[in-house]
A and B are shown apart, each in its own frame.
Chain A
Amino acid sequence: MKKITVIVRNLPFNIRRNAEALRMSVGLTLREDKVTVIFIDDGVYTATRTKPELINIPHPVREFGALSMLKCSMLADKPSMEKRGIQEILENIKCVEREEIIRTINESDIVIPF
């Protein structure tokens, strides 16, 4: 079993990259590898409660639902959240210190910045 970490660090709505990173993460679980998704820098906005349907973008509710169901860990970088004044994130996403983010990346067999 490999440890695969996907890093989401871009703004969520100007392109579909982040939603696709989440869809890819769901797929990566299919060979029983342990997948972790990290939200860092502007990527933390993806971890917040939003209404993208107001600008005609589908909400990645299916992606988040599948990742939770498959028990993938989802981590949001606390310093990135603080810098942007974000206090609330989606359930099943854990707000963690930078040290835990670094440890997770260091312990990974594969890191995919998306």
Chain B
Amino acid sequence: MVNNMTIELDLKGEVCPYTFVKTKLKLEEVESGEELVVFFDHAPAVENVPRSLKNEGHKIMGIEQTGDRLWKVRIKKA
């Protein structure tokens, strides 16, 4: 059975390092291989959080700008 439920995390209004701290804590609730979708409005986080997560071994499946200052990042847990 395929589980289509996506886990989402809204980090609008959060800045560094809370963007990364909260993403990391949420990933602890996610099973290995599952996807987490995170929403950011803090521009530096869109470059830095995915780079740091890759360093921790996770995969970045996509970064998409969905608004004027709004981004959606898809992460696959290692």
Contact present between A and B (CB < 8 A): yes
Chain B, interface size: which category? under 10
B21 at interface (Cβ–Cβ under 8 A)?
Answer: yes
A68–B21 alpha-carbon span in the complex (Å) = 13
B24 at interface (Cβ–Cβ under 8 A)?
Answer: yes
| Count of chain A residues near B, Cβ 8 A | 8
Interface of B is mostly: helix
List chain B residues, Cβ under 8 A from A23: 17
A70–B21 alpha-carbon span in the complex (Å) = 9
A-B pairs with beta carbons under 8 Å apart, 16 shown:
A23-B17, A26-B17, A26-B18, A26-B21, A27-B16, A27-B17, A29-B21, A30-B17, A30-B20, A30-B21, A30-B24, A30-B52, A62-B18, A66-B18, A66-B21, A70-B21
Residue of A nearest to B20 (CB): A30
CB distance from A68 to the nearest CB of B (A): 13
CB distance from B13 to the nearest CB of A (A): 10
List chain B residues, Cβ under 8 A from A70: 21
